[in-house]
């Protein structure tokens, strides 16, 4: 009997034509005999994917003109490359005995975990024995799991391609690299061990079970009498090809092929399956192989519907013809018939050539947005680039266009999956600030975080910003108690570890109580997981993780399924760090599809796009390594080894993606899109696009590019402003009552150079927050050094001890204690402090020998007129020496670079000159007014080659007393200006002297009103 084969052109709506032909009786003779519901329900229809099955049901109802009907039995053939064919339902329904004899498959984590354990043992045995040698395979559970995923794919591939394990014996190790020799040895080991593991659980391989079910279904169909139709499959899997062969030869069967090329000449068609040089990368390779297997001539296959008027099939066939026959392109310019076809084909094709991936996504979003303006018009993006699909969906949200991404989302990327991962990360990193805050602020599976946002904010400000507290929940609770004690000391006016400007001093007891309650509850919920510190079986970690996640309100049905598999999987000992990564990998392969009910735009992967039909189809990411995909390396077998075994080569994937490209070109409106750069690297246009451009010719292709350029131009204009008005330099003028009445001498420099800083800090009361989990910075280091030196001089004010260096080092150990949690920082800074200490005790002894008295960390202040009120200038001097002649020396310690003599002389760094003015005015207790200052000294303490350096400020033709009086007079003049409510607090008044960005520069929006960011401009005077 002649096989019953049909095809539907790429430009025809596949499922609509299929259903019409089936109901009209053109597929199976005598079916349907009537339109009675039970008559129609006799048939079985096999389609490649679950999505195609769902759409087919809707098409049936539409063609029958009803909302409910008894439809044919519609069964999916499979998933990607038809690897996930599910015939269990069919077998159980009509072959119960055979179905019961087929064991269940060992799949998912129950399969990957024992494979990982075997790989881990193997990696340990092949690890180099000598120190310093790099292992070929990292022997850790995460690497083992990734290799297990690759191994599982290889095992599926061997089963699918019906390659026996014994074929491994024919591979010659001497012809391959040593690594492949080792992997081959492991595969032979697995060949012996794995069957016993499967038999122990009465399980079989997933691909084997699929093939057994297909075989059972094939045997059933051979005896069945009801209509059987298989449509849309290319038969790329041998077992599927056998099934299609059987159906095609049944008297009541029919096979409908997708997009068979009926335009390609016979010589070129035969070249596709050439025995010497087969075109595995040709889009028709799979169909040609299937037709040859069934035993029918291409000319005998019936086309069910005429191609669309644009006639794009002919152009596509020509563009993708086998490379061996591409010399025929030379005749195309003189082929009038082809030229007519090409003119019609290019009419509704646009080519988008974007600068980068972001611009490509925006241009695509514009094209889809345009399509939905027409009522009833359908549009979709098809791309293998998942990131591109997500970008487009996000951009369409700006217009409130609902999008159905048919690929769904990985559970690991959904809110509930991220929340579960963060729970594991918090335990893994022992409550480190960044993962902890990520958890506390994450919405989990709700619209809001399950934690009290106010308590989270207080916890963040109190202990998670700045240097990291002691690890663990206990350490955080202790840090909260310590901050509470320091705040209480600060409120009482006593010395504490917080600077008077520290924003934490504003926290109330109620705030701290909320943060403490949060930490106590979190400690309780996380205790099961936090207490697992040593390596444990992964099932133990999973059980405790699930317990903690449930307590935190983040458990979902999908997550519970993963935990159930992990807890019952074969034991694999892991650490907390390993477990967090393994859990991520375990949920990454689980896809959740949540389509919005009102979606007007769809995003397809290559598989999901098969058999779909829309009015406008955008083909995105058309660059090499994306579409077609980049060849994936096999971790277990080299390319020559795979070829020798008869496994699929990368070209096979290229052929399938070429077929998807050819099918997509059948849409009424087609937009081809690619970025010029991807990930910052230049791209190469897809070979399919290059071939299409070559056969269409420059004139036609440039017209398509011009059409696509319209969408790129719209995308670029989308966020462009009609006119750009630069932000003006801020000039806030707060009322007199709001202007500060008190500044320290160090803040006077800000008043002179950048008044806006004073406005933000003292008028707006904005205090900068430390970075989260900040390392020990230069400021903290300077504080440790400064406080150590001050304590030495205060403790031994009258006389240094005999062993001053040992005393200073003991004091330094106490002040450097916070570095215990930062061993790298301590290893760097403590040796520097030791050098500073050795230098300082000699410096101190020398200075004491010429001084009558010392004043250490002494505070002082003087009043200055401020309008009709008084302004207070304050200071805390590091060191003041009363010299033998009764005059004074003022010393300031710097761990960074001190200001230059010119900056001090010009009055732009007036710290020491104003300290001298305060001293002369009697502003320091126990120092009488009228004193004379003979020296202003900066002491730089770096701990480098020169551990310390004395820098006495030198004034040209002047003395410190004169400069002190000038500095005070200048400050009095400046304060008189700022007492005027009309005088603004300008940003960057003297930027040319500014050597770093200010804390409040972003609030002043400097980069908006200053072309140079204000770094080299002289403004405001």
CA distance 104 to 210: 10
CA distance 375 to 372: 7
CA distance 467 to 819: 9
Selected residue with higher pLDDT from 653 and 400: 400
Is residue 428 pLDDT above 70, yes or no? yes
Residue 716: CA atoms inside 13 Å, Cβ hemisphere, count?
A: 11
- Crossing angle of helices 285-294 and 650-664, rounded to 10°: 100
Q: What is the pLDDT of residues 998-1014, one digit of tens each?
A: 789 889 888 888 765 44
Q: What is the pLDDT of residues 302-359, one digit of tens each?
A: 999 988 888 899 999 999 999 888 899 999 988 999 999 999 999 999 999 999 999 9
Is residue 447 pLDDT above 70, yes or no? no
Q: What is the pTM of this model?
A: 0.84
Please report which helix (H) or strand (E) contains residue 922, including its range: none
Selected residue with higher pLDDT from 487 and 989: 487
- Crossing angle of helices 178-200 and 109-125, rounded to 10°: 140
The label of the residue with tokens 């500044």 reads 743
Where is mean pLDDT largest: 96-100, 456-460, 498-502? Answer: 456-460
Paired strand residues for 105:
204
Is the bond preceding 628 in cis, omega lying within 30 degrees of 0?
A: yes
- Quick one: pLDDT band at residue 450, thresholds 50, 70, 90? confident
CA distance 973 to 958: 21
CB-based burial label for 722 (10 Å; 0-12, 13-18, 19+): exposed
Q: What is the pLDDT of residues 811-853, one digit of tens each?
A: 999 888 877 777 888 888 899 999 999 999 999 999 999 999 9
CA distance 789 to 768: 28
Is residue 907 pLDDT above 90, yes or no? no
Q: What is the pLDDT of residues 975-1002, one digit of tens each?
A: 999 999 999 999 887 665 454 557 898 8
CA distance 321 to 160: 28
Which residues does 611 contact at the CB level (< 8 Å), separation at least 6?
14, 15, 47, 48, 49, 52, 55, 231, 232, 258
Q: What is the pLDDT of residues 731-765, one digit of tens each?
A: 999 999 999 999 999 999 999 989 999 999 999 99
CA distance 299 to 317: 16
Is residue 644 pLDDT above 90, yes or no? no
Which residues does 723 contact at the CB level (< 8 Å), separation at least 6?
none
């Amino acid at each position: 009997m002649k096989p019953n084969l049909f095809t539907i052109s790429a430009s025809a709506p596949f499922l609509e034509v299929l259903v019409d032909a089936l109901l009209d009786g053109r597929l199976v003779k005598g079916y349907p005999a009537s339109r009675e519901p039970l008559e129609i329900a006799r048939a079985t229809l096999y389609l490649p994917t679950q999505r195609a099955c769902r759409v087919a049901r809707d098409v049936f109802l539409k063609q029958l003109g009803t909302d409910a009907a008894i439809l044919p039995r519609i069964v999916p053939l499979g998933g990607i490359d038809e690897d996930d064919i599910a015939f269990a339902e069919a077998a159980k329904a009509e072959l119960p005995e055979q179905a019961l004899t087929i064991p269940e498959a060992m799949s998912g984590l129950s399969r990957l975990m024992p494979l990982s354990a075997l790989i881990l043992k193997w990696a340990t045995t092949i690890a180099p024995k000598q120190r310093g040698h790099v292992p070929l395979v990292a022997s850790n559970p995460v690497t083992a799991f990734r290799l297990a995923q690759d191994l599982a794919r290889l095992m599926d591939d061997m089963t699918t391609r019906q390659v026996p394990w014994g074929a491994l014996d024919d591979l010659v190790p001497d012809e391959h690299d040593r690594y492949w020799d080792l992997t081959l040895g492991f595969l032979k080991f697995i060949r012996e061990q794995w069957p016993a593991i499967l038999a122990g659980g009465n399980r079989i391989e997933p691909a084997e079970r699929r093939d057994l079910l297909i075989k059972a279904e094939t045997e059933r169909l051979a005896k069945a009498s009801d209509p059987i139709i298989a449509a849309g499959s290319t038969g790329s899997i041998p077992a599927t090809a056998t099934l299609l062969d059987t159906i095609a030869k049944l008297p009541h069967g029919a096979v409908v092929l997708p997009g068979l090329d009926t335009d390609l000449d016979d010589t070129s068609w035969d070249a596709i399956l050439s025995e010497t040089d087969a075109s595995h990368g040709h889009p028709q390779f799979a169909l040609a192989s299937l037709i040859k297997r069934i035993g029918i001539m291409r000319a005998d296959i019936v086309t069910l519907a005429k191609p669309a008027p644009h006639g794009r099939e002919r152009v596509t066939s020509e563009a993708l013809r086998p490379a061996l026959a591409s010399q025929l392109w030379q005749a195309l310019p003189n082929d009038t018939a082809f030229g007519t076809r090409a003119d019609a084909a290019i009419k509704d094709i646009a080519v988008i050539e974007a600068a980068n991936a972001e611009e490509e996504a925006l241009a695509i979003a514009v094209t889809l947005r345009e399509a939905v303006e027409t009522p009833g018009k359908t549009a979709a993006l098809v791309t293998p680039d998942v990131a591109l699909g997500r970008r487009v969906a996000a951009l369409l949200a700006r217009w409130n266009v609902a999008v159905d991404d048919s690929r769904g989302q990985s559970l690991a990327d959904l809110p509930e999956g991220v929340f579960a991962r963060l729970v594991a990360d918090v335990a893994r990193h022992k409550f480190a600030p960044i993962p902890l805050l990520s958890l506390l602020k994450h919405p989990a599976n709700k619209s809001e975080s399950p934690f009290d946002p106010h308590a989270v904010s207080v916890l963040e400000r109190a202990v998670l910003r700045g240097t990291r507290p002691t690890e663990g929940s206990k350490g955080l609770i202790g840090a909260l108690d310590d901050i509470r004690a320091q705040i209480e000391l600060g409120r009482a006016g006593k010395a504490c570890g917080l600077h008077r400007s520290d924003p934490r001093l504003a926290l109330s007891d109620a705030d701290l109580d909320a943060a403490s309650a949060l930490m106590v509850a979190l400690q309780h919920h996380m205790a099961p997981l936090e207490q697992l510190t040593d390596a444990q079986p992964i099932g133990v970690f999973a059980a405790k993780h699930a317990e903690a996640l449930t307590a935190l309100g983040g458990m979902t049905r999908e997550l519970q399924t993963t935990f159930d598999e992990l807890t019952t999987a074969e034991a694999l000992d892991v650490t907390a760090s390993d477990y967090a990564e393994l859990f991520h990998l375990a949920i990454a392969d689980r896809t959740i599809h949540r389509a919005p009910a009102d979606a007007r735009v769809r995003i397809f992967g290559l598989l999901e796009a098969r058999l779909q039909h829309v009015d406008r189809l955008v083909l995105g990411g058309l660059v090499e390594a994306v579409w077609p995909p980049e060849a994936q390396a096999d971790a277990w077998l080299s390319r020559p080894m795979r070829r020798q075994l008869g496994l699929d080569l990368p070209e096979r994937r290229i052929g399938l993606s070429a077929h998807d490209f050819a099918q997509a070109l059948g849409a009424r409106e087609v937009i081809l899109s690619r970025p010029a750069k991807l990930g910052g690297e230049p791209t190469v246009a897809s070979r399919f696009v290059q071939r299409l451009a070559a056969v269409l010719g420059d004139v036609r292709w440039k017209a398509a590019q011009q059409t696509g350029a319209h969408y790129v131009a719209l995308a670029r204009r989308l966020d462009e402003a009609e006119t750009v008005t630069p932000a003006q330099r801020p000039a806030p003028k707060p009322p007199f009552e709001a202007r500060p009445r008190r500044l320290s001498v160090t803040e006077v420099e800000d008043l002179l150079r950048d008044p806006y800083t004073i406005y933000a800090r003292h008028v707006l009361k904005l205090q900068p927050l430390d970075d989260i989990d900040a390392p020990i910075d230069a400021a903290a280091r300077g504080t440790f050094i400064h406080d150590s030196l001050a304590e030495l001089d205060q403790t031994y004010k009258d006389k240094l001890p005999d062993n001053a260096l040992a005393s200073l080092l003991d004091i330094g150990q106490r002040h450097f204690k916070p570095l215990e949690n930062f061993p790298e920082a301590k290893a760097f800074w403590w040796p520097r402090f030791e050098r500073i200490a050795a230098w300082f005790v000699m410096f101190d002894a020398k200075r004491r020998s010429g001084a009558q008295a010392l004043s250490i960390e002494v505070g002082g202040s003087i009043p200055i007129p401020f309008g009709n009120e008084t302004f207070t200038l304050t200071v805390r001097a590091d060191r003041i020496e009363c010299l033998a002649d009764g005059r004074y020396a003022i010393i300031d310690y710097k761990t960074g670079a001190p200001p230059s003599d010119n900056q001090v002389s010009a009055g732009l760094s007036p710290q020491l000159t104003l300290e001298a003015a305060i001293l002369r005015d009697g502003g320091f207790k126990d120092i009488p007014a009228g004193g004379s200052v003979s020296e202003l000294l900066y002491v730089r303490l770096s701990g480098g080659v020169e551990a310390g350096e004395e820098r006495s400020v030198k004034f040209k033709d002047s003395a410190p007393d004169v400069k002190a009086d000038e500095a005070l007079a200048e400050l009095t003049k400046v304060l008189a200006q700022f007492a005027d409510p009309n005088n603004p607090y300008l940003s960057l008044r003297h930027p040319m002297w500014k050597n770093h960005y200010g804390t409040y520069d972003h609030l002043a929006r400097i980069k908006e009103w200053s072309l140079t960011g204000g770094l080299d401009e002289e403004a405001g005077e």
